[in-house]
Amino acid sequence: GDSVTQMEGPVTLSEEAFLTINCTYTATGYPSLFWYVQYPGEGLQLLLKATKADDKGSNKGFEATYRKETTSFHLEKGSVQVSDSAVYFCALSRDDKIIFGKGTRLHILP
Amino acid sequence: GAGVSQSPSNKVTEKGKDVELRCDPISGHTALYWYRQSLGQGLEFLIYFQGNSAPDKSGLPSDRFSAERTGGSVSTLTIQRTQQEDSAVYLCASRGGTDTQYFGPGTRLTVL
């Protein structure tokens, strides 16, 4: 069945460092791909999405590109801030449902 | 434009008691989902409502769990005879005409 695999955390970086959180997926066809973020004490928020191959989703300085050839949707940010500390979930849509990865906790140190 | 709301935000109950969790979706959204997020785990799909169709209950972990959606809007998730392993954050999401789900803040359930 369809699945999403993302790098295990926690990931700890210093402020202004470059961030990559890896995400790969297994799916038939071409699902939409998402990154959701969960800040401490809050629910999930959509961070960005891409609906077809080679699309790039971007928001708040974060980017991810839908790579069909490598079945990946890695999340990147050039310069992280303390306020980016959160749990990040990679996900895909399938038959009106969303399948989530297990989440990656990110800690940014000042 | 209110988002998805859930109540209560926190619920502490004793083992064996029944609990009801409420979700108010975004107005006009026809799809509504319930998920469970246990400590250190990802999101576990529980149940999905779409319009007037029969709900997809394939994720409910046992027959102690049930949910209903009245009038195509508000939904209630009921857990009967709660167990300690039911302790988790229960998240509700709604979806309109796209494949993006919008999440509520969740209800943290603690079963003592």
Is the pLDDT reported for residue B95 higher than 70?
Answer: yes
Shortest CA gap A106–chain B (Å): 13
Please write the tens of the pLDDT for every residue from A56-77: 999 999 999 999 999 999 999 9
On whether the CB atoms of residues B48 and A96 are closer than 8 A, the answer is yes
Residue B64: per-residue pLDDT:
97
Confidence label for B55 from pLDDT (cuts 50, 70 and 90): very high
Shortest CA gap A89–chain B (Å): 8
Shortest CA gap B45–chain A (Å): 8
* DSSP 3-state of B108: strand
| Token duo for residue A70 | 């490598």
Is the pLDDT reported for residue B72 higher than 80?
Answer: no
**CB crowding B66-86: b at 16 or more within 10 Å, else e:** ebebeeebebebebeebeeeb
A 12-41 → B contacts, CB under 8 A: 32, 34, 36
Q: Which residues of B fall within a CB distance of 8 Å from A51? A: 99
Report the alpha-carbon distance of residue B82 to residue A101 in Å, rounded: 27
Could B100 and A102 be called an inter-chain contact, meaning their C-beta atoms sit closer than 8 Å?
A: no
User: Read out DSSP for B44-85?
Assistant: EEEEEEETTSPPB-TT--STTEEEEESTTS-EEEEE-S--GG
Say which range, A17-31, A56-70, A91-105, B20-34, has the weakest mean pLDDT: A91-105
